[in-house]
Every structure is written in structure tokens, then in C-alpha cells.
Amino acid sequence: MIVNSRMKTGHWFISSMLIAILYVYLLAIKHVRGASANTYFPRNAIEQPKNPISIDFKYHRYDELTALLHKINRQYPHLTYLYSIGKSTKGRDLWVLLITKDPEKEILLKPNVKYIGNMHGNEAVGRELLIHLIEYLLKAYETDSYVKYLVDNTRIHILPTVNPDGFESAIEGECYGINGRGNANGQDLNRDFPDQFSPKPTNYVFQPETLAVQTWLRKIPFVLSANLHGGALVASYPYDNIAYQPYNVESKISPTPDNDIFKHLALTYSMNHKVMHKSPRCDGVQRFQTGTTNGAEWYILAGGMQDYNYVYHGCMELTLELSCCKYPYESELILFWNDNKQALLALLGEVHRGVRGFTVDVNGHPIPNVNLHIKGRNSYFKSSNKGEFWRCLLPGVYTLVAEHPNYRTSEKQFVISNNGTSGPLTYTNIAMYELNHSPYNHDLPYSSSNSIPVAGTDLTPFLTDDSNDHNIPRPFFLNTDNLLTGLATTNHNTHDQNRLGGFVSRLNDRLSGWFTNFG
């Protein structure tokens, strides 16, 4: 009897243990599958703020703007990062809000684009439009496919005011005055940049705001930019200055080597603007055909920011004049927003055209700070400190030239077309040989599992059907009706080269070790 009792006790203990294990197992399954909707979210879903931002159509003074940007950053930490590029003459921060998915990660080949407002303190419309653009990008992220694509695949830097001191002294309702145009020192910031055609004296002292922008551009490889002004209604493109200014000549066309893409970018803005493309005439200002102009053809100026961006940093910048009245009453701001919203969004999308890729050595390792240009175009840009490069170009056949003091000059032909899954965007890498290396094969193999694939590589093993380059939503150029709803027609069987971007993000973790030495 004692034996039987012990056997029953042991049997009961084992059964209890099995039941307990089964119970824990079932709880674990329920837990993993996300039975609690209040705790777990579907994969890739992002929790939205409980009280989304709502911004009034009014002018925001510096303190209000600062508080607003901090509030937005707190509410959308998964999509924004707030930073200052420096101080104004009076010590006010020059705040920039970065908008992108995973803002604290620098995803390879993710291009940087920027909008700058209020360079002239009394030209105030652009300042407020950028605040409302921030609001729109964040609120529409989950509901608008084009906005989601922009935010997921672009690093959008927005500087609402680069001249906060000037704005604080400007007067609302003054359409033609100069109160607040300059900074606190009375200097015109759009005449204060280095200029290839009009060099400044060696002892020249740049303004704090200008120095902050120069430092900013040295740190971040911007691809595309726009500078928002007021006093006219036109999209202006470089050059603003000319190599030689004849006596008594105030305007003369001064095209860049990239005049074709600059005209396209200006037209993209003008034609997506509700009235700019209709060539309206502001009082005292000439009429601009199609709402665009070469800067120097309008009037010649030295020390401008758009020429500086292009010549010194390879960044393509437009100057957007958005209102006939420089500082209209705030009751008109909603009208300006409605006129400009589609154009601001369309121009951001243009950073996703042209060519991008890596400069690499024979082993597929990235080479930073390589001098690049398109053959036949005397305009230079550089690869980033991670070996990435970007260039906005129209469809066509081009040859990329790479130059570096420690490597042989290298050339690579590529084609941009509208037929790929990525639209008018081509991915290509350019390999460079060290000066003491004898090149024997231009179609380099994939060197190792940790290297970037180089020219001639078979990309098939790295391309899968979940490539993010399928079905990229894009606004149709010159078609304002379909700006936010158009989807590019795609073909999943397109050549592998056009799908390189689809696996770039999957290479990031594998490649991270190579980039630690490049900062």
C-alpha cells in the first residue's frame, strides 16, 4: 500500500508538471502572436501621436517656432530629429528638422535634400510654408503613398529660417520695404557666400549665419536644395553670377554645364504650382515665361547661396520666389500654402532621379571623397565619406569620371531611362585602381561576402521579390491633377541593375564594418 501510494503521488506530480508546462507554452504562443492589441502592433506599423500636431496659419516668432519644433520632435521621434546648425548674430539657434524614417540611422544611398526659408528676414512666406510642409509630411505619412515613399527613402532637412534676427525686426504688411532684409549686422546673407566669379578678399569676414550654412554643407552631402524667397513669382536656377560682367550690363544669361536638369527642376516647381507657370506679373518685376528663369538672366548678383551650393558642394539648388508681396498679412498664408503644396512635394521627389552608387577599389571597398563629374560637363561633385554618390540627371547615356590623387582616373558609362522599376533612376558603381596597381579586368568579380558589389557583378543572388523598388509612387511631371495619386508602372522582370537599390538596405548591416574608418 505504501508503494502504491508513492506511485500515485509520483504520477500526480509528473502530470501536474506536464500540465503546467503546457499552460506556459500556450500562454507564450498567445503572447508572441500578439493577442494583446494594446501592447503589440503589426510588423512595420508605427504608433501615431495621441494628439497630432495642428498648426495655425499665422506667423511664428522665434520663441514660438522653437517651441513648436521641439514639440513636433517629441511627438514624432520615429520620423524626426531636431538639431541646430549654429547661431545667428544675436545668438538665436538656426533650427533644422530632419524628417525621415529612422532619423538617427544613416542608411546607405539615402539622399539628403534640404529646404531653407527666410534668408531675407522680411521675406516671410517661405518660413511659414516650411512649417506647414513639416506638418503635412508627418500627418500624411500613414495615408499618402507618395509622402510615405519620400519620408522612407529621403533625408529631408528643413530650416524654416536662416535669418531669425532679421525676421524679428521685419514688419508684417510691408511688401516692398527693406526692414529686416539683412541680418542683425545689416548684411544681405544672399551676397555673403564664396563666389567662383567674384572672389572675396582673403581677409573677408563671413556672417555667422553664412558660416553656419557653409559648415552644414561640408558635413552633409546634400543632393538637391531650394531656397525660399519673396518679392516675385518665379523659380530661378544657377548661375546668378557671370564670369565677366560687361560695363553697364545688369543681366545676361549664364547657364551651368547642367542647364538641362536645372531647367527641368525649375519647371517641375513652376508647373506644379497653381499659378507660377502662368507667368503672372508682380508690380515692378518682369514677366517670366513658364514661371522660370536663369538667375543672371533676371539680374546678376555675386555671393549668392544657390551658386555656392552648386559650385562648391555639387548640390543643385533653386531659388524660389513665392509671393509678390514680401511680407503679406498672415490671413493670406493659407492661400500661399494651397498654391505651393504640390510644388514643394514634387520637387522633393526629384532627388530620386539620375544616378547613384558607390566609388570602390578593386576589392569592392568604398573610397571616400572621390572627385566626380559627368564627361562633357565641367561641374564636379564628390563621393561621401562612405563612398556614396548621387547626381540628378535627365534620361540619357552618360559617362561618369572618377578622380582621386591615390588612384587611376576611372570612367564608367551608364544609361538612365524611364522604363526601370525605379523610374528615371540608375544604380551603378565605379571601380578605381591604385596608382601602383595594373588593371587587367574592368569587369571585377564580387570580392567577398562583406564587400560592395562592383562593376560587372551578377546581382541575382542578392535580389529578391521583396525589393522596395517595386511600385514607387511618383507625381507625374507637369500633371498637377495626379501629383499625389500617380503610381509608376513597373515590371518585376526588369534588368537586375535597376533593382540594386532594393537590396542596398539589406546590405547596410553587412557593410557597416567597412565604414567605421571613414567617420
**Cβ-based burial of 244 (10 A; exposed 0-12, middle 13-18, buried ≥19):** exposed
Count of the separate structural domains present in the chain: 2
Same domain, 344 and 389: no
Domain harbouring 245, CATH code: 3.40.630.10
State the amino acid at position 249 in one-letter form: V
Same domain, 386 and 302: no
Digit-coded pLDDT (tens) for 227-241: 999 999 999 999 999
Give the largest Cα separation in the chain, rounded. 123
Structural domain includes residue 237: yes
Digit-coded pLDDT (tens) for 339-397: 999 999 999 999 999 999 999 999 999 999 999 999 999 999 999 999 999 999 999 99
Same domain, 333 and 462: no
Residue carrying the nine cell digits 519673396: 230
Same domain, 361 and 330: no
Q: Count how many residues are written for the chain.
A: 519
pLDDT at residue 53 in the model: 84
Same domain, 138 and 246: yes
Same domain, 371 and 345: no
Out of 352, 374, 397, a domain closes at 352
Same domain, 116 and 204: yes
pLDDT at residue 428 in the model: 96
pLDDT at residue 438 in the model: 59
Structural domain includes residue 38: no
Structural domain includes residue 126: yes
Structural domain includes residue 316: yes
Model's pTM, two decimal places?
A: 0.79
The residues that are catalytic are: 321
Which helix (H) or strand (E) is 88 found in, with range?
none
Same domain, 92 and 182: yes
Residue range of the domain that includes 486: 354-518
Please tell me the distance from the alpha carbon of residue 24 to that of residue 240, in angstroms, as a whole number: 72
Structural domain includes residue 447: yes
Give the bridge partners for 404, in sequence order: 407
Out of 305, 332, 352, a domain closes at 352
Please tell me the distance from the alpha carbon of residue 304 to that of residue 335, in angstroms, as a whole number: 29
Name the DSSP class of 202.
Answer: T
Query: Which residues in the chain come in under a pLDDT of 50?
Result: 1-3, 5-7, 29-45, 440-519
Digit-coded pLDDT (tens) for 20-48: 665 655 555 444 333 333 322 333 445 56
Please tell me the distance from the alpha carbon of residue 334 to that of residue 338, in angstroms, as a whole number: 6
Same domain, 217 and 277: yes
CB neighbourhood size of 407 (10 A): 19
Please tell me the distance from the alpha carbon of residue 120 to that of residue 331, in angstroms, as a whole number: 21
pLDDT at residue 220 in the model: 98
Same domain, 376 and 312: no
**Phi (first) and psi of residue 411, to 5 degrees:** -130, 150
